[in-house]
């Protein structure tokens, strides 16, 4: 079946601009996660959504980062006033539950110039 999809695959933006990254999880998966992968920091958790519960935002690095999940499916990660240190690959994952394993999308490579 279809896996997790993300768009765009690559995004180049100027410092100070806002960007939106999209994630389509695997159909039926109730949990959705955002991580980022960078050379200096490895794989870092950002935020996750589980069903109708309030999202766990504990990994968001600053208030410039926000995310929403509409209709329990698609999610959008928004970064406002981008900075060069935001350059990374942003990964989305989804799962059926805590024990089912998380399935990752191909990521969005963000470059802030």
Partner 1 sequence: AQSVSQHNHHVILSEAASLELGCNYSYGGTVNLFWYVQYPGQHLQLLLKYFSGDPLVKGIKGFEAEFIKSKFSFNLRKPSVQWSDTAEYFCAVNWVNDYKLSFGAGTTVTVRA
Site residues for partner 1 per CB under 8 A = 31, 33, 35, 42-45, 48, 50, 56, 58-59, 91, 93, 95, 98-99, 101-107
Measured from the CB atom, the residue of 100 and 113 that comes closer to partner 1 is 100
Measured from the CB atom, the residue of 1 and 42 that comes closer to partner 1 is 42
Pairing state between β 65-69 and 42-50: unpaired
Minimum CB separation of residue 68 from partner 1 in Å reads 18
Measured from the CB atom, the residue of 82 and 105 that comes closer to partner 1 is 105
Minimum CB separation of residue 16 from partner 1 in Å reads 30
Calculate ∠ Cα 18-12-76, nearest 5°: 45
- Dig out the tokens for 66 from the structure: 């926000």
**Residues 34, 90 contacting (CB under 8 angstroms):** yes
> Which residues, 6+ apart, have CB-to-CB distance to 65 below 8 Å?
46, 47, 77, 78, 79, 80
Minimum CB separation of residue 53 from partner 1 in Å reads 10
């Amino acid at each position: 079946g279809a896996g997790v999809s993300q768009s765009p695959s690559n995004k180049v933006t100027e410092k100070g601009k806002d960007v939106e990254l999209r994630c389509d999880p695997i159909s039926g998966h109730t949990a959705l996660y955002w991580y980022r992968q960078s050379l200096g920091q490895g794989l870092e958790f950002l935020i996750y959504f589980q069903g109708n519960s309030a999202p766990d935002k504990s990994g968001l690095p600053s208030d410039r980062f926000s995310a929403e999940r509409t209709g329990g499916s698609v999610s959008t990660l928004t970064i406002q006033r981008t900075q060069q240190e935001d350059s990374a690959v942003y990964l989305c994952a989804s799962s059926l539950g805590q024990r089912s394993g998380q399935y990752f999308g191909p990521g969005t490579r963000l470059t802030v110039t």
